[in-house]
Amino acid sequence: MRKVFIDTNVLLDLLLEREPWAKDAAVLFSMADRKEVEILCCSLSFSTAIYLMQRFKYTRSEIVAKLSVVKSICTITTVNEAVIDRMLQSEFGDLEDAIQYYSALSFGAEAIITRNVADYSPSRIPVFTPKDFVK
């Protein structure tokens, strides 16, 4: 099964039902639910999602319910000192993306799924938009 890392923006598309991207994000998670791919998602994406869901006035129970479903489908990658060290030495313009990238690599990601492909130009593994990946 192919391990694909989901960037925070794709997770937010799913959780916040952001159009026109929510459908492709939902397809990715459906693929994972059917065991066609293994989705990796950075632990930091959860804190970002919580923050934004609270700002969009989701209740605590709605947030917990949505994140529980996501957690049941994906593998959560971690951020440790090695990931931070690699980010600090990286050529990534967006340092937050560098954290996600090195967290994904440490868990064996074979591809990155993001709406901001250009932000991952230093990547040594393939980078796809959700739309291109689900094709």
pLDDT tens-place string over residues 86-106:
999 999 999 999 999 999 999
Per-residue pLDDT at 6: 97
Per-residue pLDDT at 37: 97
Query: Regarding beta strands 37-42 and 111-113, do their DSSP bridges make them parallel or antiparallel, or are they unpaired?
Result: unpaired
For domain 2-134, which architecture applies?
A: 3-Layer(aba) Sandwich (3.40)
pTM recorded for the entire structure:
0.93
Q: Which residues contact 60 (CB under 8 A, 6 or more apart)?
A: none
Q: Which token pair is 95?
A: 């340092």
- With 90 as the cut, is the pLDDT of residue 133 above it? yes
